[in-house]
Amino acid sequence: CVLTKVDEAVSLGGILSAITHAQLPIAYLGEGQRIAEDLRPVRAHHLVTRAVQLARVAGAIADEDLLSRRFGGIAHALA
């Protein structure tokens, strides 16, 4: 899977959820308009850091109770 236009994204939550749900591995990340220069192997730490940075800019606040209710049963559903 190649994830592109990360540099233009205002949020990565939706795509990270979709990729996780579909259990797709991400091989490359595109951050820029020049394909040859801006396409690079993805590193999980970089992607998560970028998602957190975007969430902070947007003023997103993690609601632990809401996250627990929404995602608490996922491990059982996927088993």
Q: Which residue has the higher pLDDT, 8 or 67?
A: 8
Given a cut of 80, is residue 1 above it in pLDDT? yes
pLDDT of residue 62: 64
What is the tens place of the pLDDT at every residue in 2-44?
Answer: 888 888 888 888 888 888 888 888 888 888 788 778 888 988 8
Q: Which residue has the higher pLDDT, 38 or 73?
A: 38
Sign of torsion, CA 45 42 51 72? negative
Backbone angles phi, psi at 29, to 5 degrees: -125, 130
For residues 37 and 17, what is the distance between their CA atoms, to the nearest angstrom?
27
